[in-house]
Amino acid sequence: MIHNKKAQEEPFLGKELMGAIAAIIGAIIIIIFISILYRSYYNSNASEGAEQARDFSSTLYSKINAIPLNQNSSKIIQPIEGDWYIIGWSYDSLGRPDKCLAKSCICLCPKPAPDSCQTRNGFCNTFTKEKIETLTFDKEKTTTQYQAGGIPLPIGSIVPKNSLFIGIGKNQQTGLLDIKIEKTSDKIALSYYTANYANLK
């Protein structure tokens, strides 16, 4: 009697085990499928961002070359998909990307660093001007004690938060960007003033 009961339980346990294995395999397949979809979406967006960046770099180069000497202009742009930064190097800047050769250059790169500009997604254009400037003018309200030239400022003070690059990716910007371009006989300067720069007083 006991022997027959065990014989009946064994197939039942086998079915439970097979069901558990099937569920695990199914879960793994679903996870792999979701991962493939995510990678496909991410790669698609990354590819779209790189194409937009390449086009923008070419357009910016043409725009700068078309500006007469000692004149200013501006360019209104939509943020580019992902993370993208305009960075400039003068011909004598240290740490300049190899793509700049021995000239001044303006690059559009996924990160604000020379190594990022050396990748296939770094787009650089060279110029004969001696000096290149790319500046973001920003302000912030301090949340901690701030030292300005050794002088302590109270919490809530408005202080500069400028940077030597301009973030134009959708991960940095949400609205249109107005980039100012200044061109002289020896310098090209690109600058962007954030909303905080105008609003914080």
* 132 class by beta-carbon count within 10 Å (0-12 exposed, 13-18 middle, 19+ buried): buried
Q: Edge to edge, what strands does the sheet with 104-109 contain?
A: 123-127, 104-109, 85-89, 165-167
Q: How far apart are the C-alpha atoms of 137 and 198, rounded to whole Å?
A: 10
Residue 86: pLDDT over 70: yes
- pLDDT bin (cut points 50, 70, 90) of residue 47 is confident
Q: Report helix, strand or coil for 142.
A: coil
pLDDT the model gives residue 155? 83
Q: Indicate if the pLDDT at residue 43 is higher than 80.
A: no
Tokens 């973001």 — which residue? 136
Instruction: Kindly indicate the confidence band of residue 187, based on its pLDDT and cuts at 50, 70 and 90.
Output: very high
The model's pTM: 0.71
